C-alpha cells in the first residue's frame, strides 16, 4: 500500500472494532489501534490485516508517554476517533471535567489529539456528555488551541438503518475550517428507514436455552456452535450488513445456560411485555421491588426496533428475550443488531462476546459518520 493513497486513522478505546469497521467501510484505513483489554483487541486483530506493530494493547496514559516510538503510525493522520469513558459529566457535578480524577481517559484522549493533530477527529459517548458541551469545547480549546472548529449532535442509530434504539453523542472537530453543521448535514444525508428486529433474526437456526450449568464447552444443534457451516437467507438486511459477499459460515450463534424458572418466564411472556406482566405474576421474583425490576425481564417485539444492546448482556440476557423462542439473544444476533457483518468473528469467552458487541458503536452508524466526513477529504 502506498502511503499517499491511504486515508489513515487511529482508533483509541477501539474495543472489538465497531467504530473502526464503519469508518473503514466509508474509506478510512485503520493505521493505529489502542485498546486496553487484550481479548477485545484479539477480536479486532483477527478481523483486520494490520501487523502487531500497529497496535498498542494497554492504558492510553502509558501510550501517551511513549508516542515518540510510534511516529510511523500516528504522523499525518486524517482522522482520530474514540469514545473515552467519562464518568464525571453529571449536571450535578460542579467539578470541571478536565479536573475530575474519574476522567483521566478523557484527558488522555485530548493529549493524544494535541500531539497527533489529525485533520479530523471524532469523539463518541453517551448523551449525558451533551450536558457539559460548553465545558468540553473549552477543554478542547485548551489542548488544541484555535486551529480546530468543533461541535456535536445527538445521532440515533435507527435513523441510519440500524434495527436498534441507540442514541450517541457525536463530537466532531477539524482543522480544515469546515463548518460542523455542514459536516453533520452531510452525515444525515445517509439516513434511511430502520430495519426491525425480525429482519435481523429471520433465517438463523433456532436455539434452546442451555440446561447444563457450567458446561460452556458443550456445543450442539440445540444450544448452538461457535462456528458451523451455514446457508443464509439473503434478504435486504443480509445485503445491508454483508453487501454482495457470500458468507458460508455462522459464527458465535450459541446460547448460554438458563435456570428452569427463567426458561418458564421466557416462554410465558408475550412480545413487548416486561416483568410486571400478569402472565408471570405467580413466578416472578423480586415482587416487593417490582417498580425497580420491571425490566428485569423483557421480551422483544419482532416488528419493532430492538432496545439498546449493552454490555450487560455478558451477565444475562433476561432483558433481551428472543421474540419467538424461550431464550435470550445469541451473541451473533446481538452482533447483527449492531450491524456487524456475519463474518466478523468474536473471540474470547462467550460472555466476552456479549461485552464486545454491547460496547461497540453500530457499524452502519459509524459508516454514515465516516461517509459524511470523507466527503470533505476526497
Query: pLDDT tens digits for 248-299?
Result: 999 999 999 999 999 999 999 999 999 989 999 899 876 665 556 677 899 9
Same domain, 289 and 352: yes
Per-residue pLDDT of 144-203, as tens digits, reads: 999 999 999 999 999 999 999 999 999 999 999 999 999 999 999 999 999 999 999 999
The pLDDT of 35-63, averaged and rounded, is: 96
* Domain co-membership, 281 together with 294: yes
The predicted structure's pLDDT at residue 217: 78
Provide the residue range defining the domain that includes 212. Answer: 197-359
Helix (H/G/I), strand (E/B), else coil: 249:
strand
Cell of 344: 466478523
Same domain, 243 and 302: yes
Contact 164/158 with Cβ under 8 angstroms? yes
| One domain, residues 101 and 9 | yes
Please identify every residue annotated as catalytic: 86
CATH number, domain of 88, equals 3.40.50.150
Is residue 263 packed enough to be buried (19+ CB in 10 Å), middle (13-18) or exposed (0-12)?
Answer: middle
Q: Coil, strand or helix: which one is 154? A: strand
Distance between CA atoms of 280 and 277, rounded to whole angstroms?
Answer: 6
> Which residue, 181, 163, 164, is CA-closest to 172?
181
> According to the model, what pLDDT value does residue 1 have?
43
Whether residues 341 and 366 fall in one domain = no
**297 shares a domain with 234:** yes
**pTM of this structure:** 0.94
Question: What 8-state DSSP symbol labels residue 188?
Answer: H
Based on C-alpha coordinates, what's the Rg of the chain?
21
> Can you point out the beta strands (E) in the chain?
8-12, 29-35, 55-57, 79-82, 120-125, 149-156, 167-174, 224-229, 249-254
How many C-beta atoms lie closer than 10 Å to residue 127's C-beta?
12
What pLDDT does 86 receive? 72
Query: Are residues 186 and 214 both part of a single domain?
Result: no
Q: What's the number of domains the chain is made of?
A: 2
**Model confidence at 3: pLDDT above 60:** no
pLDDT of residue 159: 98
Query: Rounded to an integer, what distance in angstroms lies between the CA atom of residue 319 and that of residue 215?
Result: 23
Do 297 and 159 fall within a single domain?
no
Mean pLDDT of all residues in the chain?
92
Mean pLDDT for 71-82 is: 96
pLDDT at 221 over 70: yes
| Mean pLDDT, residues 85-101 | 67
Amino acid at each position: 500500500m502506498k502511503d499517499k493513497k491511504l486515508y489513515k486513522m487511529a482508533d483509541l478505546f477501539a474495543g472489538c472494532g465497531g467504530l473502526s469497521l464503519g469508518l473503514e467501510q466509508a474509506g478510512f484505513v485503520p493505521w493505529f489501534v489502542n485498546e486496553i483489554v487484550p481479548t477485545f483487541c484479539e477480536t479486532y486483530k483477527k478481523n483486520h490485516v494490520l501487523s502487531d506493530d500497529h497496535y498498542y494493547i494497554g492504558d492510553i496514559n502509558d501510550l501517551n508517554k511513549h508516542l515518540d516510538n510510534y511516529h510511523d503510525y500516528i504522523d499525518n493522520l486524517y482522522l482520530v476517533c474514540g469514545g473515552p469513558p467519562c464518568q464525571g459529566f453529571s449536571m450535578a457535578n460542579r467539578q470541571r471535567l478536565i479536573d475530575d480524577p474519574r476522567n483521566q481517559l478523557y484527558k488522555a484522549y485530548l493529549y493524544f489529539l494535541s500531539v497527533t493533530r489529525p485533520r479530523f477527529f471524532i469523539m463518541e459517548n453517551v448523551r449525558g456528555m451533551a450536558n457539559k458541551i460548553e465545558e468540553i469545547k473549552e477543554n478542547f480549546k485548551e489542548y488544541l488551541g484555535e486551529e480546530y472548529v468543533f461541535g456535536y449532535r445527538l445521532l440515533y442509530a435507527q435513523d441510519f438503518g440500524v434495527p436498534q434504539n441507540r442514541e450517541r453523542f457525536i463530537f466532531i472537530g477539524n482543522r480544515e475550517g469546515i463548518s460542523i453543521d455542514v459536516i453533520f448535514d452531510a452525515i444525515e444525508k445517509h439516513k434511511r428507514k430502520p430495519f426491525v428486529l425480525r429482519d435481523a433474526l429471520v433465517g438463523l437456526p433456532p436455539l434452546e436455552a442451555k440446561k447444563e450449568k457450567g458446561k460452556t464447552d458443550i456445543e450442539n444443534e440445540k444450544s448452538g456452535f461457535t462456528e458451523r457451516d451455514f446457508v443464509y437467507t439473503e434478504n435486504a438486511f443480509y445485503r445491508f450488513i454483508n453487501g454482495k459477499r457470500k458468507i458460508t459460515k455462522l459464527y458465535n450463534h450459541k446460547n448460554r445456560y438458563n435456570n428452569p424458572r427463567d426458561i418458564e418466564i421466557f416462554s410465558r411472556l408475550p412480545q413487548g411485555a416486561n416483568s410486571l406482566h400478569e402472565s408471570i405474576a405467580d413466578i416472578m421474583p423480586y415482587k416487593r421491588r417490582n417498580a425497580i425490576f420491571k425490566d428485569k425481564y423483557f421480551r422483544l417485539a419482532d416488528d419493532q426496533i430492538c432496545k439498546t444492546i449493552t454490555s450487560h448482556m455478558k451477565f444475562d440476557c433476561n432483558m433481551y428475550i428472543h421474540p419467538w423462542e424461550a431464550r435470550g439473544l445469541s451473541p451473533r444476533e446481538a452482533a447483527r443488531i449492531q450491524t456487524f457483518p456475519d463474518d466478523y468473528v468474536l473471540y474470547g469467552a462467550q460472555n466476552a462476546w456479549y461485552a464486545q458487541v454491547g460496547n461497540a458503536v453500530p457499524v452502519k452508524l459509524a459508516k454514515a459518520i465516516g461517509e459524511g466526513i470523507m466527503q470533505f477529504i476526497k
